[in-house]
Structure 1
Amino acid sequence: MVTVSKDDMAIKSYQSQAEVLVKNYLLAAPFIPYTSILGGLVAAKVAYEFTRLISNFYFKTYAGLTKIQRIEWNNRGLSSIHAIFISALSLYLVFWSDLFSDQRPTDFVTLRSSPLCIFGLGVSVGYFFADLGMIFWFFPSLGGLEYVIHHSLSAIAVAYSMFSGEGQLYTFMCLISEVTTPEINMRWYLDTAGMKRSAAYLINGVVIFLAWLIARVLLFVYMFHHIYLHYDQVVQMSPFGRLVVFAVPSALFIMNLMWFAKIIKGLMKTLAKRQ
């Protein structure tokens, strides 16, 4: 005869209560936006501290940095972790999932959504809030006005898309551009570590050029073409939804082109020094 101790019964009771809490509240459709934003904020803190901890143990350069350099070092680790998560999720939803496929003509592509979409967008909103808070707190050490504009536009567009359910396809297309963030951060790490003349720095520069060209230039051109092909659906969105779809990607695209010009100039300068 199997006997169950009071401790086992207490553990099972706590597990049952936790399952009810998660199912009925944390993962219930009405609460996913809020729990995912909170999760994004918590994940941002964890990623920041994880970067600090790992850097203390494995990177000798870290100990010799100034206080603000260590803060930026940790912040860039946080942004890289978020970028890997959201760009991978966005690539899956846009190109591999059938959620936004034109093979489903029964509803408008501009109104399609899923719990996974809402969760991913919420995590990104939490990250943008956390990063904006740090940028304002240490302004302008972690980024100037262009970073404030970029993060503010991104947070507004992502939050609106998450809560309204409109234009999530185009939001994820924009978020794919985060795939360039780890390379940009790696460039800063190499520079800070005194490896600006290394082969790794040059290779990283070439990777940045290719990734930026594909994810922040050509992909945006593809997105504008997609909007043009589905214009009849886009114009039936709410007025603010149409503004987000037309204005935010256009503003980001202009900024991407300006930064791309600087990337080309920097790469050419680096290659010229090596000849």
Structure 2
Amino acid sequence: MESYRYQAEILVKDYLLADPFIPYTSLLCGIFMCKMAYDSSQLISSVYFKGFASLTKIQRIEWNNRGMSSAHAIFITSMSLYLVFFSDLFSDRAEGLITFRSSNLSTFTLGVSVGYFITDLAMLFWLYPSLGGMEYVLHHSLSIIAISYSALFGEGQLYTFMVLISETTTPGINLRWFLDTVGMKRSSAYVLNGVAMFFAWLVARILLFIYLFYHVYLHYDQVEQMHTIGYTLAFLVPISLFIMNMIWFGKILRGLKKTLAKRQ
């Protein structure tokens, strides 16, 4: 047993967590975690939610898919907040250009996120358009390209994590769908969820993006030293997602107004 334990430690240290392999092993971990989250959602829901069995097949798939996306959102939001605001990786005390800073932990985190987006995109294509239309395909495609580049080449990871903080709104969006699916659209929980989602979206997907653009402006001398691909992605992806966020924010605002009007 001691020999097997030693060999396992060597395998993890020299291969699975070796610097050159981290982007790839973390991607596989992300896919595996998605599978575990999907199956866990199905198991827990079938045991504790009596109405789960009465849902249609596509509703059960989407239910578990949203459980999976909520698990990823909690993970990536927690890690992004830590790396951006609490760790020393991107602080002013650290040495080197801020656009070229990375660590094994930050790269591993990005790889896990790529694994999720690949898994979810595969499900989108498999059941298209039941789980989402072209806007979701565009969102996931841009995310995969930008996060993969940042993980593989270590460029612009700060801005990648800033964008990923916007995933904090995902559990609220999924909860709204759950409440609607189980017939609680007229409940107080549905209204409170709508109000919370409005403010969360405003902070995480509007104000935070504005701060990101301001940060890029302040550190433009460092941003322009990135490779052409990284430089392009640093502007193209946040701007594209910001436009999509504004469009969705308008829909959230109209939906909230309609819900509040019905309760008066």
1:63-107 superposed Cα distances (whole Å, 9 cap, x missing partner): 110000000000000000000000010001111112111233x31
Deviation at 1:111, TM superposition (A): 0.2
The runs of 4+ residues in structure 1 deviating greater than 6 Å are none
1:192-235 superposed Cα distances (whole Å, 9 cap, x missing partner): 00000000000100110010000000000000000000000001
Determine the structure 2 residue equivalent to 1:85: 75
Determine the structure 2 residue equivalent to 1:95: 85
Determine the structure 2 residue equivalent to 1:75: 65
Aligned partner of residue 142 in structure 1, secondary structure = coil
Inter-partner Cα distance in structure 2 for 1:143 and 1:274: 29
Determine the structure 2 residue equivalent to 1:63: 53
Determine the structure 2 residue equivalent to 1:224: 213
Query: Which amino acid in structure 1 is aligned with residue 174 of structure 2?
Result: N
Q: Report the identity percentage.
A: 66
Q: Mapping of 1:78-157 within 5 angstroms?
A: 78-104=68-94, 106-157=95-146
How many residues get paired?
264
Inter-partner Cα distance in structure 2 for 1:61 and 1:201: 18
Corresponding residue to 2:239 among 225, 239, 250: 250
Inter-partner Cα distance in structure 1 for 2:9 and 2:226: 37
Q: Mapping of 1:1-275 within 5 angstroms?
A: 11-104=1-94, 106-275=95-264
Aligned partner of residue 93 in structure 2, secondary structure = coil
TM-score normalised according to structure 1 size:
0.95
Deviation at 1:14, TM superposition (A): 1.1
Aligned partner of residue 21 in structure 1, secondary structure = helix
Query: Which amino acid in structure 2 is aligned with residue 157 of structure 1?
Result: A
Inter-partner Cα distance in structure 1 for 2:93 and 2:246: 33
Query: Which amino acid in structure 1 is aligned with residue 7 of structure 2?
Result: Q
Inter-partner Cα distance in structure 2 for 1:199 and 1:188: 15
Inter-partner Cα distance in structure 1 for 2:246 and 2:117: 22
Query: Which amino acid in structure 2 is aligned with residue 229 of structure 1?
Result: L
Determine the structure 2 residue equivalent to 1:7: none
Unaligned runs of 5+ in 1: 1-10
Q: Which has the higher Rg, Structure 1 or Structure 2?
A: 1
Deviation at 1:60, TM superposition (A): 1.4
Aligned partner of residue 30 in structure 1, secondary structure = helix
Aligned partner of residue 202 in structure 2, secondary structure = helix
1:34-57 superposed Cα distances (whole Å, 9 cap, x missing partner): 100000011111110000000000
Determine the structure 2 residue equivalent to 1:3: none
Inter-partner Cα distance in structure 2 for 1:53 and 1:103: 46
Aligned partner of residue 103 in structure 1, secondary structure = coil
